[in-house]
Every structure is written in C-alpha cells, then in structure tokens.
C-alpha cells in the first residue's frame, strides 16, 4: 500500500507539469510555475543583486552593454522583445547572467576575457539563450519534482523505520538527485545555450567565430584548471571549443546575410 501511495503521489507531481520542445528540438518538462511567476522571480533576483552588489558608474561600460543587449534582443521572437534591463556590476569575476522577465547582469570582470563587442555578444547571447530556452522553468520544475518525491519517500520510510531513517533518506536522496538528475541536465542546458546563443549572435550581426575566441580567453584566464567534467555543470572546454568552431563555420552565411541586410552593430 505504501509503495502504491508513493507511486501515485509522484505520478501526480509529474503530471501536474507539461512537456515542451526546446529551440534545439529537445523535450523538456516545464510548468511547475507560470511564466508570470518566473518573471517575478527574475525581477526579485535582479533587484536583490542590485541591492547587494556595487554597480559600475562608468557610463561608457553601461552604454556598451546596453548596445550589445539591444542588438541581440531585437532578434528574439516578438513576445520576448520587451525592454530588457541591464546592470553592470563592479565585480572582477568574469561572470554574467540573464533572468526571466528581461534582465541581464554583467560583471566588469567579463571585459578581461571578452575583448571586443563580438565576444561580449557571445557571452550575452549565451545567457539570453538560457532564458528563451526556458531553462529556468525546466530547472525549477525538475527540482520541485525531485524534492516532492524525496519528501514523500522520506515520510513513508520515517513512518516505518523512524525519523532518523527519514532524514538519512532525504540526505542521500538529495545527493543522488543533485548528482544524477540536476547536474546532467544543467550540462545539457549549457550546451543548448551555446547553440542558441551562437545562432542568435550571428543573426544580430556579430561574428559567431568570436565565441571560440571568447572561450579560448576563458580557458587561458583560468589557467586551464577545472573540475572533472562529470562533476561540472559546464561541458568540457576543449569539446566546447570544437563544437563552437564547427557551428561558427555553419553560421558564416547567416552572419554575412545579417551584415548585408544592415545589422552591423557598432557598440564599442
């Protein structure tokens, strides 16, 4: 009976969500929260970042980032072209993010590895690729499903073997969910954001080959040190470079057409 109840509860959790197709044709499970809720979460996270981190007062840097973001977001579907808000944080770590609701954050440290507007576009397009591929929705849905299943399992074990067993189940199950469910999916999302971002930057008139140069700069800046691939949320750098380079070749005609049609960003 307990096994049946567990199966029914997990089935109810799963069926409450929906499937969708990502921009690369991958099947996703999404829908644990609405798009409106996602946008609200994005706005809250962005507001918290701005409240807790110093922002750059360099008007040139801010205009530069806004210019690149605007050029990229003009290539999004109409419903995603709403005014995107940007913030440049005075932080020397080379990092960037984009959030649902049209938010982009850039650390000033990114300028040490993104040497020109095309390389900065590669960073920003990759991050926006996460948003338009519904990766935040997908991660939240997957994590909520994992937590619900673990909570039910812990409750059932606890009712039979005691609270200590329930806590142990939750801890071990949480590690398994993190290592075997959540992290592999994140690596898939990173690779997908590479694909979507490189396509997006080429359509916007930025050179897709510069995505390769960007990651070469990233590897050089890190000294080549990294965690083993199976413990990382990012693809192996060398494999990533090979894939980026192959796609850049395939996107050269898209880039040339964009430039010929007048999409020639001049951001700095």
pLDDT of residue 90: 97
The more confidently predicted of residues 214 and 165 is 214
Nearest to 237 by CA among 104, 124, 179, 245: 245
Least confident of 24-28, 37-41, 114-118, 160-164: 160-164
CA–CA dist 238, 233 (Å, integer): 15
Whole-model pTM?
0.80
Interval 200-256: pLDDT, tens = 999 999 999 999 999 899 888 877 555 444 345 566 777 888 999 999 999 999 999
Q: Six-digit token pair at 199?
A: 């396509």
Whether residue 147 is predicted with pLDDT greater than 80 in this model: the reply is no
Distances (CA, A) of 168 to 10, 48, 139: 20, 34, 24
List all residues 6 or more positions away from 262 whose beta carbon is below 8 Å from its beta carbon: none
pLDDT of residue 235: 66
Distances (CA, A) of 98 to 14, 15, 101, 229, 250: 27, 29, 9, 24, 26
Q: Six-digit token pair at 26?
A: 């991958």
Whether residue 89 is predicted with pLDDT greater than 70 in this model: the reply is yes
Q: Six-digit token pair at 110?
A: 């990114």
Q: Six-digit token pair at 38?
A: 């996602």
Domain residue extents for the chain: 2-260
Q: Provide the β-strand partners of residue 20.
A: 28
Q: Listing from the earlier edge strand, what are the strands of the sheet with 103-107?
A: 85-89, 103-107, 96-99
Q: Six-digit token pair at 195?
A: 């694909």
Q: Which of helix, strand or coil describes residue 106? A: strand
CA–CA dist 79, 81 (Å, integer): 6
Distances (CA, A) of 144 to 16, 114, 154: 11, 35, 15
List all residues 6 or more positions away from 217 whose beta carbon is below 8 Å from its beta carbon: 113, 114, 115, 119
Contact 108, 89 (CB under 8 A): yes
pLDDT of residue 230: 39
Interval 110-123: pLDDT, tens = 999 999 999 999 99
Residues in the chain: 268
Contact 194, 202 (CB under 8 A): no
Q: Six-digit token pair at 254?
A: 């898209």
pLDDT of residue 187: 82
Nearest to 232 by CA among 179, 181, 167, 160: 179
Catalytic residues: 127
């Amino acid at each position: 009976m307990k096994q049946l109840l567990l199966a029914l509860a997990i089935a109810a959790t799963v069926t409450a969500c929906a499937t969708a197709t990502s921009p690369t044709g991958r099947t996703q499970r999404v829908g644990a929260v609405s798009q409106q809720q996602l946008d609200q979460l994005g706005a809250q996270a962005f507001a918290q970042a701005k409240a807790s981190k110093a922002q750059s007062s360099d008007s040139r840097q801010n205009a530069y980032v806004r210019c690149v973001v605007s050029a990229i977001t003009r290539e999004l579907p109409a419903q995603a072209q709403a005014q995107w808000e940007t913030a440049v944080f005075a932080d020397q770590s080379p990092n960037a993010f984009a959030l649902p609701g049209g938010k982009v954050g850039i650390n000033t440290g990114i300028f040490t590895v993104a040497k020109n507007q095309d390389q900065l576009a590669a960073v920003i397009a990759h991050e926006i690729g996460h948003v338009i591929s519904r990766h935040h929705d997908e991660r939240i849905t997957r994590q909520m499903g994992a937590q619900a299943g673990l909570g039910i399992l812990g409750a059932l074990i606890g009712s039979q073997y005691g609270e200590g067993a329930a806590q142990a189940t939750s801890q071990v199950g949480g590690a398994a969910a993190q290592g075997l469910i959540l992290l592999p999916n994140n690596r898939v999302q990173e690779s997908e954001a590479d694909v979507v971002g490189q396509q997006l930057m080429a359509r916007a008139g930025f050179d897709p080959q510069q995505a390769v140069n960007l990651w070469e700069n990233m590897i050089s800046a890190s000294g080549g040190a990294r965690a083993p691939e199976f413990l990382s949320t990012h693809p192996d750098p060398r494999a990533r470079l090979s894939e980026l380079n192959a796609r850049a070749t395939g996107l050269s005609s898209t880039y040339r057409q964009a430039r010929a049609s007048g999409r020639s960003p001049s951001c700095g």
